[in-house]
A and B are shown apart, each in its own frame.
Chain A
Amino acid sequence: MSAAPAQILTFCIGGETYGIDILCVHEIRGWSPVTRIPNAPPDHAGVLNLRGTIVPVIDMRVRFGVGQAKTAGAVIIVLSLEAARERRELGLVVDSVADVVELAPDAVRAVPRFGARDHDSLLGLVTHGERTVMLLAPTGFQLEERET
């Protein structure tokens, strides 16, 4: 997963465009109410039922600090991630899904270092048309106990 992905799914969060390797995308679904998790960090929106399994959902707006949690009209991208032990499923709440984009092997550029937060969740930057796409690292979603 460290190599640059060949295809990415792009989506919007608070006016910015992000992308993620299409190979980790399990499915895309419309917003449906989630069940809140007691005493969880604010970006952990809750859990939902994905055909019988309990899947946690992260609100990306809250995580990136770009405004209030938005629900109506939001989209949930369900990822299937290779974790240390086994596959894990995880949902991301985003504003909308944009496109599937082919990437040239050298298209991903490093993020300039300026001490910005949350850098380890970014794999790099990609230019797509007139937009800059921030490529998310599939390994950047740690849900293990860390803050408690």
Chain B
Amino acid sequence: MSVDLSRFHDSFFDESLESLATMEATLLRFEAGATGPEAIHTVFRVAHSLKGGAGMFGFDAIVSFTHTLESVLDALRAGRLAVDAPLTDLLLGSVDLLRGMLEATRAGGSIDAQRVADLQFDLELQVARSRGKEPRNGPATVAPDPAPKEPPANAANAAGGDAPDAGSIRVDVGKLDDLLNAVGELVITQTMLAQFARGVAGADERLQRGLLQLERNVRDLQESVMRVRMLPISAVFSRFPRLVRDLAQRCGKQIELRLGGEHTELDKTVLEKIGDPLVHLVRNSIDHGIEPPDVRIARGKSPAGTIRLDASQRGGCIVVEVRDDGGGLDRRRIIERARSRGLIAGEAEPDDTAISELIFSPGFSTAEEATEVSGRGVGMDVVRRNVKALGGSIEVESRAGEGARFTLTLPFTLAIVEGQTVAVGAERYVVPVTSIIESLRLQPGGATRIAGSGSDVITFRGDFLPVLRLHELFGVESANEALHGGLIMVVEGDGRRAGLFVDQVEGQLQAVVKSMEANYRAVDGVSGATITADGNVALILDVPALVRMAGRARRGALA
């Protein structure tokens, strides 16, 4: 294979996988009765262009299979075959097989030929069936409709791309990062000019106006560049119709999935990481939430359960809800389980909030038991941990017999952190606002030195919090030794609170997060770096890591 052609392999695979996702989404809507000529045409087009592309690269197995698939679709198009459940299954199976073939070919291997042959045979049977029949509606059903009127709502692939659409182009993320860096430099230059102009006495008013304009333009530019990185959440949602369909069939349940707010946009960095937690929640709803049809009927509900996935934008956050109309959290089972695991005392009767908290507690459930044991806490602690690592939160609301609702609140992006600058001696650090609870100034004697440990505790809202002296953890000079000389910033990381001792708190900023690892290495207690308005580097603190570091240091001191 010539080198030149192989350069296009990647885009062939990417685009083919993407269009298979479109095909899958369209096929899933077949089941809801959306089998119009447009839908059939969409499916046909995917198979057709896949055949063409594979032919160009000489992937003969794919060509041969898609050719047969195309014949079936052609029969559908001409009305010689009708869409029914077995045929839809067959077509969905073809999508899976093609996906497997593409992935195997990309990796330089090939897929089990028997599997291909079997499925191809089934498809050929369909073609044969169609030949034995006259067109039922005549070829008139084939509307010469070259493109769907609107792009399928959730036709995007899991890799994060939107539906192939004439108005979009594929851009390497590295290029966007370069662009973002260049804009960042522009912001710094603009700030420098503004400071300079303020220093010039009697500067021309036109200059001042011009600079103000520049500032606005630069901000707009920065926002636009950030927006380019945003993708609709449909890229993640699109995998659920299939997942729900397959799992529901396996559990013998009837489940309808409704998606809402698919166009809500969020940064690629977050998008890549919310898929797994959402899959977990949806699986849980199917597995433990929605009741089997007979139970539902006995409870006076419709036999088919509903799961809703809704995304929306609230302030600076994205809220994703996973809602089902199943049985809600099983209070009795959760209490039983928590007792058997020693999470609560034998006689305790926790209230609803406490019950919800229980399912998120580590050790509530373990992976081995997930399949056989009911109770809705399958690995929920992992879900919560992952969501927290993204700077988000998760909550659950449940009504017995009516259903449960999980609410995930996530930041738009991991590329920007809302931060508070703190000063420690000559150093400046950025603390993410999401980890700050409050800043306070101690009175002399406001802290208690714990005997023999060399560390202090303060009282805050009725709790004792350890004091982390940032300058000691980081080995830098501080302006204040006495705790009442500086400020205590109460922070929370990994569910634990601590008082971070700093000299003072300075302004807030929107920090564009840069990696330390790109050119250096990971630094304990630091999650990244950012560039301040004056062009210097400020390190962004990793609060959970600091809390852990302090714990280690304390244990070390006591040992």
Q: Do A and B come together as binding partners?
A: yes
CB distance from B527 to the nearest CB of A (A): 12
Report B-chain residues with C-beta under 8 Å of the C-beta of A49. Answer: 531, 535-537
Nearest 9 pairs between A and B by C-beta?
Answer: A52-B181, A38-B474, A35-B537, A56-B520, A54-B529, A52-B184, A49-B531, A54-B514, A88-B519
* A109 interface hit (Cβ, 8 Å): no
B519 and A56 contacting across the interface, CB-CB below 8 Å? yes
A39 sits at the interface (CB 8 A): yes
A-facing residues in B230-255 (Cβ within 8 Å): none
Contact string against A for B residues 174-200, beta-carbon threshold 8 Å, 1 for contact and 0 otherwise: 000000111011000000000000000
Which B residues lie within 8 Å of A37 (CB)? Answer: 520, 523, 526, 539
Q: Which residues of B contact A33 (CB under 8 A)?
A: 536
Which one of B516, B524, B536 has the highest number of Cβ atoms from chain A below 10 Å of its Cβ? Answer: B536
Residues of chain B whose beta carbon lies under 8 Å from any beta carbon of chain A: 180-182, 184-185, 427, 473-476, 514-516, 518-526, 529, 531, 535-539
**A39 with B475: CB separation less than 8 A:** yes
Report whether A52 and B182 are in contact in the complex, using a CB–CB cutoff of 8 Å. Answer: yes
| Bound form: Cα–Cα A48–B529 in Å | 10
Q: Is A117 among interface residues, defined by CB-CB distance under 8 A?
A: no
Measured CA separation A69–B192 after assembly (Å)? 29
The CA-CA distance from A40 to B474 in the complex, in Å, is 9
Are A54 and B473 in contact (CB-based, < 8 A)? no
Docked pose: A56 CA to B516 CA in angstroms: 9
CA distance A34 to B521 in the complex (A): 16
Cα(A148)–Cα(B525), bound, Å: 14
Residues of B within 8 A of A34 (CB): 537
* A78 CB → nearest B CB, Å: 10
Are the CB atoms of B476 and A35 closer together than 8 Å? no
A38:B525 contact, CB within 8 angstroms: yes
Q: A51-B185, A145-B521 are in contact. Are A38 and B537 (CB under 8 A)?
A: no
Contact B519 A52 (CB under 8 A): no
CB distance from A87 to the nearest CB of B (A): 9
A38 and B523 form a contact (CB under 8 A): yes
Q: Is the CB of A47 within 8 A of B516?
A: yes
**Chain B residues, Cβ within 8 Å of A48:** 537
Can you sample 28 A-B contacts with CB below 8 Å?
A: A34-B537, A35-B529, A35-B537, A35-B539, A36-B476, A37-B520, A37-B526, A38-B473, A38-B524, A38-B526, A39-B474, A39-B525, A49-B531, A49-B536, A49-B537, A51-B182, A51-B185, A52-B181, A52-B531, A53-B181, A53-B514, A53-B519, A54-B515, A54-B518, A54-B520, A54-B537, A56-B519, A88-B519
A39:B537 contact, CB within 8 angstroms: no
* Contact indicator B180/A40 (Cβ below 8 Å): no
Whole-angstrom CA separation of A88 from B517 in the bound complex: 10
A59: interface (CB < 8 Å): no
Cα–Cα, bound, A15→B524 (Å): 36
Judge whether A21 is part of the interface by a CB distance below 8 angstroms: no
In the complex, which residues of chain A have a beta carbon less than 8 angstroms from the beta carbon of B475?
A: 38-39
Taking Cβ atoms with an 8 Å cutoff, the residues of A that contact B are 33-40, 46-49, 51-56, 88-90, 143-145, 148
> Which residues on B sit within 8 Å (CB–CB) of A144?
521
Name the residue in B515, B520, B525 with the highest tally of chain A Cβ atoms < 10 Å from its Cβ: B520
* Chain B residues, CB < 8 A from A35: 427, 529, 536-539
Supplied contacts A38-B475, A53-B518, 13 more A-B pairs, CB within 8 Å? A34-B537, A35-B427, A35-B529, A35-B538, A38-B525, A51-B181, A52-B181, A52-B182, A53-B181, A53-B514, A54-B519, A54-B537, A144-B521
Alpha-carbon distance between A39 and B529 when the two chains are bound, in angstroms: 16
A52 to B520, alpha carbons, bound, how many Å?
15
In the complex, the answer to whether A47 meets B476 with C-beta atoms within 8 Å is: no
A11 vs B156: C-alpha distance in the bound complex, in angstroms?
A: 55
Contacts of B523 in A (CB 8 A): 37-40
CB closest residue in chain A, given B183: A52
A21 to B535, CA, bound (A): 30
Cβ of A52: which chain B residues have Cβ within 8 Å of it?
Answer: 180-182, 184-185, 514, 531
Q: Which residue on A lies nearest to B427, using beta carbons?
A: A36
Query: How far is B538's CA from A48's CA once the two chains are assembled, in angstroms?
Result: 9
Residues of A within 8 A of B516 (CB): 47, 54
List, in ascending order, chain A residues with CB within 8 A of B473's CB. 38
State whether B519 touches A38 (Cβ < 8 A).
no
- Report the minimal beta-carbon distance from B299 to chain A, rounded to whole angstroms: 57
The smallest C-beta distance from B139 to any residue of chain A, in angstroms, reads: 56
A51→B474 CA distance, assembly (Å): 27
Q: Give the residues in chain A near B522, CB-CB below 8 Å.
A: 145
CB distance from A143 to the nearest CB of B (A): 6
In the complex, what's the smallest C-beta–C-beta distance from B535 to chain A, in angstroms? 6
Among the listed B520, B526, B536, which residue makes an inter-chain contact with A143, where contact means beta carbons less than 8 Å apart? Answer: B520
Q: Which residues of A contact B526 (CB under 8 A)?
A: 37-38
Q: Which residues of B contact A38 (CB under 8 A)?
A: 473-476, 523-526, 539
For B524, the chain A residues whose CB sits under 8 A away are 38-39, 148
B521-A47 in contact (CB<8A): no
Q: Nearest Cβ distance between residue A86 and chain B, in whole angstroms?
A: 8
Contacts of B537 in A (CB 8 A): 34-35, 46-49, 54
Alpha-carbon distance A40/B526, docked complex (angstroms): 12
Query: A145 CB to closest chain B CB, in angstroms?
Result: 6
> Which chain A residue has the least Cβ–Cβ distance from B514?
A54
Of listed A36, A88, A144, residue having the most chain B CB within 10 A: A36
Contacting residues, chain B, for A88 (C-beta < 8 A): 518-519
Once the chains are docked, how many angstroms separate the CA of A88 from the CA of B473? Answer: 28
Closest residue of chain A to B517 (Cβ to Cβ) is A54
B295 CB to closest chain A CB, in angstroms? 54
Separation of A145 and B520 alpha carbons in the complex (Å): 9
Distance in angstroms from B519 CB to nearest chain A CB is: 5
A47 x B181 contact (CB < 8 A)? no
Shortest distance in angstroms between A24's beta carbon and chain B's nearest beta carbon? 14
Chain A residues positioned under 8 Å from B538 (CB to CB): 35
